Structure 1
Amino acid sequence: MLIGLSTPVVVQTPAMASPWEGGADIEDVARIAEVADSLGFDYLTCSEHVAVPVDEAGLRGAVYWDPLATLGFLAARTSRIRLATSVLVLGYHHPLEIAKRYGTLDRVSGGRLVLGVGVGSLRAEFEMLSAPWEDRGVRADDAIRALRSSLSVSAPSYHGEFHRYQAMMVEPHAVQPRVPIWVGGRTARSLRRAVGLADGWMPFGLTPARIAEMLAAVDIPDDFDIVLAVGPLDPRARDECLNRLRALRDVGATAVTCSLSASSAEHYCDQLASLRDLVDEL
């Protein structure tokens, strides 16, 4: 089971963020990434929101660092840990825009990109960006198909319902022959989208029982990732922490994205070391 981190500081949701994150800076984030890299954690995440309406910030938070800039910086401060968007909102981007920008990230990181994508759930943000809202699901399906055909080639060609292009060059492009694509969501449709078009599913806001029920209703392909989130974890509460991780493994998780409780960046690094020791017992 892969163990990743919901990178602190770069996304600060009220339900998950610790008070110290509000005063942290990029060097704190870099230090945490370096420690996670050295300890053998599998991936770091960063989410995307361009702008959050004031009346939504109390629930969603307002701090969302740009994932491309953030993960590009962390790529230069690490050597092996993978870099996962969790998630890019497909409706905000043309597929070739993603292929160029994140293909470049894949190249500069030595092939460490995991492209997490989602349909999006914030209507006001769609409207601000003049992005279509009502048919965003079918548009996302088309965008994933376009990305699959375009991420790892220099001369992509695609003819779909919403995206069509040919005789175009995209250099640089991803160095991985097949960039892993994980689909976020909380509906049965998001799971079907992930199974049919991608390499993994990242549900959110669902109980383990509901996730198990949804997974039982579909045929999961071999080598398909079930990426579940947990936290905030306190590794000092050893038994509780292990029980929570084992519960997700029993549901079917092949990867777990962890949030950690901590009082400072230094404490967070200590918590990482403790979590690493616990994970070895799973």
Structure 2
Amino acid sequence: MSKSQLKIGLASPIVILLPHKKDTWEADAGVDELRQVTLAAEKLGYYSLTCSEHVGIPTEIAAVRGGRYYDPVATFSYMAAITENIRFLTYISVLPYHHPLAVAKRFGTMDKLSKGRLIMGVGVGSLKEEFELLNAEFEERGARYSDAMKAVKASFGRRLPKYHGEHYHFDDFIIDPCADQQDLPLWLGGRTLRSLRRAVEDGDGWAPFALSLEQVSEMLQKTQQTELWQQRQKPFEVSLSLEVTEDLTKGEGIDAVKGRIEASLKAGASHLSVSAASHSLQHYVDQITEFKEKVMPEFISA
């Protein structure tokens, strides 16, 4: 992909608190700080903000996964109310936790309220304890996930959706409001070749995690040789994470960050979610400002 087509968003701080951030400014941050981050991201022209999804984390697992996860619908609805352009990416919503029509209604309403700015990043889920907490099927989650994706795609933006699949069947139900976007983008998470092929078949993009750029590139190259890929008629997005550990406000590591973006592009990325290290709210805003001014112009046309 050309540099000018690259989309760069932010991995939202505050809305998820991982263990390594428990002693940072984010631990005590709340709605006022989230508002300032959101407004700064909008003003600077970032493409998207993210929010993940977990209803509850077992206490013994929170030491690894963290315990704070803002609800994406509520969070994005708030963000949408104070912005006009920035998009909102669920990264990741666990689809098997929900009935497809509940997804179509809740996220569809949010898409309506934001005037069509939602991107649905979805995943199959792996936390067995959370499945059990929600009385969701864990062992059959893969099959239900595949069916749910088709059902959701058949429902977004449709007041009278119809779907008859292996696990989900519905007809003659009014879903109003529904999504503003009838073709609401569906990006699939995962870290396997199977997840990529599933994304090519049923989705609009792939948002892998815990993979090296070499692994991403290899999986994409293999998939691009398949008939499934060659039959696609719509664009396909590849969303990767970009960690900025350097202090850009001190002029540190700007060339190194540019190099990592170049490598991500070479691997196949069309969208990046940037995480910026920071020691305070103001430092975070300064970091993303420096990134916008010193890094992004080389990759995105004004």
TM-score with structure 1 setting the length: 0.97
Partner of residue 48 from structure 1, selected from 44, 48, 53: 53
- The answer to whether 1:30 aligns with 2:35 is yes
Q: What are the superposed Cα offsets for residues 252-273 of structure 1, whole Å, 9 maximum, x if unpaired?
A: 1000111001111111111111
Tell me how far apart the structure 1 counterparts of residues 194 and 239 of structure 2 sit (CA, whole Å). 16
SS in 1 for 2:273: strand
Tell me how far apart the structure 2 counterparts of residues 76 and 268 of structure 1 sit (CA, whole Å). 22
Whether the 8 Å contact between 2:120 and 2:186 is mirrored in structure 1 is yes
Aligned pairs, how many?
282
TM-score with structure 2 setting the length: 0.91
SS in 2 for 1:201: strand
- AA at the equivalent of 1:185: G
Partner of residue 268 from structure 2, selected from 252, 258, 272: 252
Whether the 8 Å contact between 1:18 and 1:262 is mirrored in structure 2 is no
**Structure 2: which 5+ residue stretches go unaligned?**
1-5
- AA at the equivalent of 1:246: E
Aligned to 1:231: 243
Identity of aligned residues (%): 41
Matches within 5 A, 1:175-186: 175-186=180-191
Q: What are the superposed Cα offsets for residues 159-212 of structure 1, whole Å, 9 maximum, x if unpaired?
A: 000000000100000111310000011111111111000000000001111111
Aligned to 2:128: 123
Tell me how far apart the structure 2 counterparts of residues 162 and 39 of structure 1 sit (CA, whole Å). 44
CA RMSD across the alignment? 1.3
Matches within 5 A, 1:105-144: 105-144=110-149
Whether the 8 Å contact between 2:16 and 2:70 is mirrored in structure 1 is yes
Higher mean C-alpha deviation, range 161-170 or range 266-275: 266-275
**Structure 1: which 5+ residue stretches go unaligned?**
none
SS in 2 for 1:231: strand
Aligned to 1:6: 11
Partner of residue 89 from structure 2, selected from 84, 87, 93: 84
How many Å apart are 1:91 and its aligned residue? 1.1
How many Å apart are 1:232 and its aligned residue? 3.8
Matches within 5 A, 1:194-273: 194-219=199-224, 220=229, 221=232, 222-234=234-246, 235=248, 236=251, 237-273=253-289
SS in 2 for 1:258: strand
Whether the 8 Å contact between 1:233 and 1:241 is mirrored in structure 2 is no
SS in 1 for 2:19: coil
SS in 2 for 1:150: coil
Partner of residue 108 from structure 2, selected from 98, 103, 118: 103
Tell me how far apart the structure 2 counterparts of residues 6 and 126 of structure 1 sit (CA, whole Å). 25
Tell me how far apart the structure 2 counterparts of residues 18 and 88 of structure 1 sit (CA, whole Å). 26
Cα pair distance change 1:242/1:12, threshold 3 Å: same
Whether the 8 Å contact between 1:16 and 1:231 is mirrored in structure 2 is no
